[in-house]
Amino acid sequence: MTTRHREDARGRGGSSSPHAEHDDVAPAVAVDGLYKRFGSGPDAVTAVDGVSFAVEQGSVVGLLGPNGAGKTTLIKSIIGTVLPDAGAVRIMGVDVREAPREAYAHVDAMLEGARNDYWRLTVRENLRYFATVGGVDPDSVATRHDRLLDRLDLAAKADEPVRNLSRGMKQKVSLASVLAGGADVVFLDEPTLGLDVASARTFRAEIRRLAAETGLTVVLSSHDMEVVEAVCDRVIVVADGRIVADDTVDALLRADEHTLRLTSPAFDADVVTSLRERFTVTDVERLDRGARIEVTADTDGLYALMDALRRRDVPLTEVRSVDPGLDDVLLDLTGDDPGRGTGE
């Protein structure tokens, strides 16, 4: 994984920083024992319950979990808009309590799908404004802003005041402002909420490009599994304020294992029994003629299965991949009780 810094962001927070020599090895974000409880007594809600993790520079990490799991509170506790009760946060190696200005100079965020864009300013003026606020000379990044506007399909609206835009376009401006600011680490809470299919696709491509080309680190929370699968190197699953899984998307999806649904008029009791002896048959549904079965196997197992079926001259009328999606995995990990996440 890259540890390159964004060129225009180099020196943000002071290139003479006493922490600068650690920047190449420090995680972009390191969270240790973070804890946040709202309220007190029987109504208290523990939103973040002893969370620790580190995010490598240049990686894209997804925070997933059911409603109320604590994702937003976790992000807010990291970026300092919520004060955690306990725990430590380091951004690019800088402790937020020891040097908050320096630490947060590396960070930008878009929370709950919105951000305080200036609706009287044009799209381009907003980008320039937020670059300036982020300590970047807007002229030095004008080309990058143009490219961003282009890629997010905002170029035609670049000189339009934001207030004249549709809700989805305003959201894209918010995203563009965050991505244009020159931060090393961006936190995006539900970034694709309200975006149309094409815009969400553009967003996914842009996030991957920025992470790969500029070393931008992205932490995003989303209920949109397509986005998570497409952009995240790694996924942290939160339930009831705690981490219940922290792994790559492939590992969570068990990408080395596949489940096929096969239908054949020749699947009688004999054939199914002999298949069961060699393969993991997870489901059998008898049909008027034959049966529909589900078999889980790795690649070698699938080859062996097909060979066995061919040897027995079993005709297949349906072959369908029914691999579980990230949403299935998530439900398995967190349960689907909508009452979860209320703390205790």
Which residues make up the interface to ligand ATP (CB under 6 A)? Answer: 38-39, 45, 47, 65, 67-73, 341-343
Q: Where are the alpha helices (DSSP H) in the chain?
A: 71-79, 100-104, 123-133, 142-151, 167-180, 197-214, 225-231, 249-252, 269-278, 299-311, 326-334
A 10 A CB-CB count for 36 gives 22
Q: Give φ, ψ of 281 to 5 degrees.
A: -90, 115
Minimum distance of ligand ATP from residue 32's CB (angstroms)? 19
Whether the CB-CB separation of 236 and 61 falls below 8 Å is answered with yes
Residue 132 or 342: the one with the smaller Cβ distance to ligand ATP is 342
Residue 108 or 189: the one with the smaller Cβ distance to ligand ATP is 189
Tell me the one-letter amino acid at 261: R
Length of the chain: 344
Q: What token pair was written down for 295?
A: 């078999």
DSSP 269-295: HHHHHHHHHHSEEEEEEE-SSSEEEEE
Residue 44 or 205: the one with the smaller Cβ distance to ligand ATP is 44
Residue 16 or 40: the one with the smaller Cβ distance to ligand ATP is 40
Residue 69 or 123: the one with the smaller Cβ distance to ligand ATP is 69
User: 258-264 and 29-38 as β-strands: parallel, antiparallel, unpaired?
Assistant: unpaired
Residue 11 or 39: the one with the smaller Cβ distance to ligand ATP is 39
Helix axis angle, 167-180 relative to 123-133, nearest 10°?
30
Minimum distance of ligand ATP from residue 244's CB (angstroms)? 13
**219 forms bridges with which residues in the sheet?**
61, 187
Minimum distance of ligand ATP from residue 270's CB (angstroms)? 50
Minimum distance of ligand ATP from residue 155's CB (angstroms)? 32
Q: How far apart are CA 62 and CA 252, in angstroms?
A: 12
Minimum distance of ligand ATP from residue 160's CB (angstroms)? 31
Residue 65 or 93: the one with the smaller Cβ distance to ligand ATP is 65
Minimum distance of ligand ATP from residue 88's CB (angstroms)? 19
Minimum distance of ligand ATP from residue 34's CB (angstroms)? 12
User: 185-189 and 107-110 as β-strands: parallel, antiparallel, unpaired?
Assistant: parallel
Element (H, E) at 89: strand 86-91
Q: What token pair was written down for 112?
A: 């709950």
Minimum distance of ligand ATP from residue 68's CB (angstroms)? 4
Residue 232 or 309: the one with the smaller Cβ distance to ligand ATP is 232
